[in-house]
Chain A
Amino acid sequence: MVDLYLGWRTGQDGQRRLQTAGVSGTPGTRTMVMARSLRSVSRSGTVAGPDEETMKSIFRTMALIAACDDALRSAISAGTITLAYYSPRGQEAVAAGFAAALGPDDYLVTTYRGLHDHIAKGVPLRPLLAEMLGRAEGTGKGKGGPMHVVWPDAGLLLTTGVVGSGLPIACGLAWAAQRHGDGRVALVSFGDGATNIGAFHEACNLAAVWRLPVIFLCQNNGYGEHTAFADHQRTARVSDRAAAYAIPGVTVDGNDPLAVRAAVVEAAERARAGDGPTLVEALTYRLYGHVFGDRMAYVPPDELDDAWRREPVGRFRRELLEAGFLDEDGVRAVEEDCARLVAATLEEVLALPEPGTDELLTDVVARSTGG
């Protein structure tokens, strides 16, 4: 049985082929291979699988992300809303998986393709959508936009529009947690493209040297902007790079939320125990390209077809059905509920006002100056 999707490689003949691996004998090193059984939901030898309620909660999170993405793409297509939109469709399992492994107080730093991370970590839908639409009720009063969503109550301290820049900042959050001794961990989410920028290396090294409670989570969706993974780095796995910093590195199936959850649970335990950072690579795929309107001309059609066959929401839905946690009516009820919630919230948010002109110069600096 082929389970672990390892991405695309260009062979010596110039042909691109999908690389996958079964439950044993994976190519490369440091690959976490999960026992694959629909009855046992554990994907790691040491991490217990989630209970039924958590499984359902993970599914709901994934369904909500997909519903939100559907609604936004539809509204953009219809001309109802206008924004630069970086669809996370296809990466739902990564977000739902890591969020299921973290507490509400744990820190999250993410990037412009962050809607799935925001929803999974618990940013309420209304201020989230309001920010995406530039409304005063948004997470940043409409002044940040979709690339800069924050929600400290859910631990989300930064969404950055600059590739790789979140990693050093996550180190600082982890340092604060280390100083406060509050047991928090900081998870920073980024794409495979970010692993080639200096900030990635500086942050991995600093976190290793300072033994910071930070989790570097690479959502390897196969592309850095429009450049395929094999064309932007020679390493077979992003996780191979962990060896350079003497930190643990693991690769998991990012389309399997339980595999991601297990890896992040282990990384968080390590971090909370004072044993420093972990680099987790979650192999996944972005199904709608880099930015809304991307025609994906650079993507081989068979690759995209295959990625849709591996689409994570439908896959986890089937798992829930097969495990008997929900029946067909049950999963459909969750999906319809998510769609209704998103539609209703979007409608509410469209009616909200934009920030007033008094906001133009507010929040540039604090109101008063020290002295």
Chain B
Amino acid sequence: MADHSGTAPPAAAGDQVSVRAALTRALDEALGADEAVVLLGEDIADPGGGVFGVTKGLSTKYGADRVRDTPISEQAIVGAAIGAALGGLRPVAEIMFMDFLGLCLDQLANHAAKLRYMSGGRTPVPMVLRTAVGGGLGVGAQHSQMLESWLTHVPGLKVVVASTPSDAHALLLSSVVDDDPCVFIEQVPLLSRRGPLDDRPVPLGQADVKRPGADVTVVTYGRQVHDALAVAESLAPGGPDVEVLDLRTLAPLDVDALLESVRRTRRCVVLHEAVVTGGFGAEIAAFVSEALFGRLLAPVLRVGAVDAPLPYAKALETLALPGPARLHAAISAVTSSGASPP
């Protein structure tokens, strides 16, 4: 997707744009660069341009045949994306909320993920599934779940969660040009977050140190990156020096960056929005512990949502999600002697 000619103007360095605008720009560039790219999903065409406006303007620019509204039929959306990919297109499907993955998981896990392997490489499935997560917005338990560990448990799927406009832009483009099915997770509270946008490509499978530090590595992704950065800054005067490692893609996982960081800091806390039990943090904790057992100064701790459906009432929702206080406590625990869970 190197050729962006005829599409959105390149971003000027230092531009402040929202994550939403960065995503829209990436889709715009993808559609402009490759006729094979098509979008499908519920209400993605104009005037709405998706319930969160990420595809706004694209059906007007590229036609309702390429940016195509669908019935409310998640199996059909993902199945049609798979078939379109098998037929030579590069579809980007939208599933409105990640919670609705349950309606199309057969297509995603049994078909998109496996068709390359089961055919000995004859039928790859180059597609993207974009999906939104509403945790923190007060929309209740069926519109708020981070279910990334459902996906990382299935070999053949790639899983992407961006935290900044530049990463969102670059990683979505990398997902579109990738020859495997990629699930691109968009946390809604992050969409209006603004930041600079550069046009540097970011390959899948490359983590990013968002803040270097010497004493403890906080491994995280998505909007929790910003929580981790805030906590790190709050501790800076006199407290432990926190490194924030943004995984950016969970599959493939950048194990080199992960081990390099924790080998150096010798302490690790994993922070994610999903519930702790069976979450991706467990995979990180196990991996780090297996690789660096003798080197670690404290057990790897996990910080995530409590093991309950996400409640509606604002105070309870805030309590359920992993806020700065719990991360702070975990960092204190691993950096003090005799670490114990927060």
A residues neighboring B (CB under 8 Å): 107, 109, 138-145, 148, 150-152, 157-158, 160, 162, 165, 167-177, 179-180, 186, 198-199, 202-203, 205-206, 209-210, 359, 362-366, 369-371
In whole angstroms, how far apart are the Cα atoms of A109 and B86 in the complex?
Answer: 11
- In the complex the two chains form, is A176's CB within 8 Å of B124's CB? no
A371 touches B204 (CB 8 A): yes
A169, A180, A366, A371: the one contacting B83 at CB < 8 Å is A169
- Report the Cα distance A363→B204, complex, angstroms: 17
Which residues on A sit within 8 Å (CB–CB) of B66? 179
Q: Is the CB of B110 within 8 A of A363?
A: no
Are the C-beta atoms of A369 and B203 separated by less than 8 Å? yes
Which A residue sits closest to B122, measured CB to CB? A150
Complex contact B65–A179 (CB within 8 A) = yes
Query: Would you give 7 A-B contacts (Cβ < 8 Å), ordered by A?
Result: A144-B118, A175-B89, A176-B86, A179-B89, A199-B76, A369-B204, A371-B206
**Known pairs A151-B122, A157-B86. 10 more at Cβ < 8 A?**
A143-B118, A143-B120, A150-B115, A150-B122, A199-B75, A199-B79, A363-B120, A364-B117, A366-B116, A371-B174
| Cα(A132)–Cα(B309), bound, Å | 45
In the complex, chain A residues whose CB is within 8 Å of the CB of B80: 168-169, 171-172, 175, 206
* Min C-beta distance of B83 to chain A, whole Å: 2
For this complex, into which size category does the number of interface residues on chain B fall?
Answer: 35 or more
CB distance from A155 to the nearest CB of B (A): 11
A171-B76, A202-B75 given as contacts; is B123 within 8 A of A158 (CB)?
yes
Q: Is B205 an interface residue (CB 8 A)?
A: yes
The 5 closest A-B pairs by CB, nearest first: A172-B83, A168-B79, A176-B87, A371-B203, A141-B120
| Chain A min CB distance to B152 (Å) | 13
Q: Which residue of A lies closest to B112 (CB)?
A: A169
Closest residue of A by beta carbon distance from B180: A365
A351 to B130 Cα, complex, angstroms: 46
Contact A165 B71 (CB under 8 A): no
**CB-CB contacts below 8 Å: B68-112 with A:** 68, 70-71, 73-76, 78-89, 91, 106-107, 110-111
Task: Scan residues 53-72 of chain B and give those whose CB is less than 8 A from a CB of chain A.
Answer: 65-66, 68, 70-71
Q: How far is the CB of B35 from chain A (nearest CB, A)?
A: 9
Q: Chain B residues near A138: list those with CB within 8 A.
A: 120
List B178-192 residues whose CB lies under 8 Å from chain A.
178-180
From residue B287, how far is it (CB to closest CB) to chain A in Å?
Answer: 18
Per-residue CB proximity of B129-150 to A under 8 Å, as 1/0? 0000000000000000000000
Which residues of B have CB within 8 Å of A144?
117-120
Q: Within 8 Å of chain A (Cβ to Cβ): is B297?
A: no
Is residue B252 within 8 Å, beta carbon to beta carbon, of the partner chain? yes
Give the residue name and chain of the B residue nearest to A147 (CB): B118
CA distance A186 to B252 in the complex (A): 33
Contact A174/B180 with A162-B110, A202-B76 known, Cβ cut-off 8 Å: no
Tell yes or no: B10 within 8 A of A by CB: no
With a CB–CB cut-off of 8 A, which chain B residues contact A150? Answer: 115, 118-119, 122-123
Output the least CB separation between A83 and chain B (Å). Answer: 15
Please name all residues of chain B whose beta carbon is closer than 8 Å to the beta carbon of A165 when the two chains form the complex: 79, 106-107, 110-111
State whether A173 touches B83 (Cβ < 8 A): yes
B265: interface (CB < 8 Å): no
Give the distance in Å from the alpha carbon of A148 to the alpha carbon of B110 in the complex.
11
In the complex, chain A residues whose CB is within 8 Å of the CB of B71? 202, 205-206, 209
Q: How far is the CA of A173 from the CA of B91 in the complex (A)?
A: 12
| Residue among B79, B120, B206 with most chain A CB within 10 A | B120
CB-defined contacts of B115 to chain A, threshold 8 Å: 150, 158
The answer on a CB contact under 8 Å between A148 and B118 is yes
Contact assessment for A371 and B75 in the assembled complex, using a CB-CB cutoff below 8 Å: no
Whether a CB of chain A sits under 8 angstroms from the CB of B271 is no
Known contacts A157-B86, A175-B87; A167 and B79 CB within 8 A of each other = yes
Taken together as a complex, chains A and B put the C-alpha atoms of A203 and B81 apart, in Å, by 12
**Smallest CB gap from A212: residue in B:** B80
| A167–B205 CA distance with the chains assembled, in angstroms | 33
**A157 contact set on B, CB distance < 8 A:** 83, 86-87, 123
A205 adjacent to B73 (CB under 8 Å):
yes
* Complex contact B81–A172 (CB within 8 A): yes
Contact A206 B76 (CB under 8 A): yes
User: Do residues B177 and A172 form an inter-chain contact, with CB atoms below 8 A?
Assistant: no
The minimal Cβ–Cβ distance linking B29 to chain A, given in whole angstroms, is 14
**Partner among A139, A172, A199 whose Cβ is within 8 Å of the Cβ of B119:** A139
- Considering the complex, give the chain A residue whose CB is closest to the CB of B36: A179
User: What residues of B have a CB within 8 angstroms of the CB of A173 in the complex?
Assistant: 83-84, 86-87
Provide the B198-234 mask, 1 if CB < 8 A to any CB of A, else 0: 0001111110000000000000000000000000000
Contact of B284 with A by CB under 8 A: no
Of chain B, the residue at the smallest CB distance from A143 is: B120
Residues on B with beta carbons closer than 8 Å to the beta carbon of A362: 121
